[in-house]
Amino acid sequence: MTQEMNSKKKKIKVLLIEDDSYTAQLYRDVFSAETDYEFEVIDALSDIEKDLEKIKKINPDVILLDLVLPLNPASRKNVEGTYILDKELGFQVLEKIKEDEVIKEVPVIVVSALSGPEDKDRAKALGAEKFLVKSEIIPFELVKAVNEVLGRY
């Protein structure tokens, strides 16, 4: 393929829903090393219905979704200054994505610290194509997972 053809090739738009800025930057760096990808991050969810509209506007080809997200993203911290995290929020987002007529066909790869079989089974039952445990993968495996769910190899 010529250089000109490569430059005209549509880039794969990857959307990451992740509240941890270090993790988001790490994944952004991994995908920026690849020329076939655009990478967007939603780092805070405030209202699931409004957030779904934001996802639709981004129009991703694939979504990487963390399950453990801040319960109250508007303030992001409780009175003592520590995060209040809730694993249910990620599952709710996954469920809403898969119920929405516009974006339900977008593949979702869960990338989470959760590793229990019940969490994996629940995510798959809600429509996740893959479930990756953050502590069990190296970041470049995300590119492979995206390519697999998009049928690129």
In a domain, 4, yes or no: no
Mean residue pLDDT of the chain comes to: 87
Residue 93 lies in a domain: no
Residue 82 has pLDDT above 80, yes or no: no
State CA 64 to chain mean position distance: 2
Task: Give the pLDDT confidence score for residue 2 in this predicted structure.
Answer: 44
**Tally of structural domains, the chain:** 1
The two three-digit tokens of residue 18, written as one number: 């992740």
Q: Does 23 fall in a domain?
A: yes
Domain contains 51 = yes
Q: What are the pLDDT digits (tens) for 16-47?
A: 999 899 999 999 999 999 888 999 998 877 78
Is residue 95 domain-resident? no
Q: Is the pLDDT of residue 148 over 70?
A: yes
pLDDT of residue 86: 76
Residue 119 scores a pLDDT above 60: yes
Is 1 domain-assigned? no
What order do you get walking across the sheet with 37-42 strand by strand?
37-42, 12-17, 62-65, 108-112, 130-133
Residue 133 inside a domain? The answer is: yes
More confident residue, 4 or 83: 83
User: In this structure, are residues 97 and 45 in contact, taking their beta carbons and an 8 Å threshold?
Assistant: no
Q: What is the CATH number of the domain that holds 132?
A: 3.40.50.2300
Find the mean pLDDT for residues 121-149. Answer: 96
Tell me the pLDDT tens digit for each residue of 124-137: 999 999 999 999 99
Evaluate whether 76 touches 89 at the Cβ level (below 8 Å): no
Give the pLDDT of residue 110: 98
Q: Which pLDDT score is estimated for 34? A: 86
**Are 109 and 123 contacting, i.e. CB atoms less than 8 angstroms apart?**
no
pLDDT band at 48 (very low <50, low <70, confident <90, very high): confident
Q: Which domain holds residue 76?
A: 11-86+105-149
Answer yes or no: is 76 within a domain: yes
- The whole-number pLDDT of residue 87 equals 78
Distances (CA, A) of 84 to 5, 52, 68, 115, 125: 48, 22, 10, 20, 26
Closest CA relative to residue 11, chosen from 39, 53, 51: 39
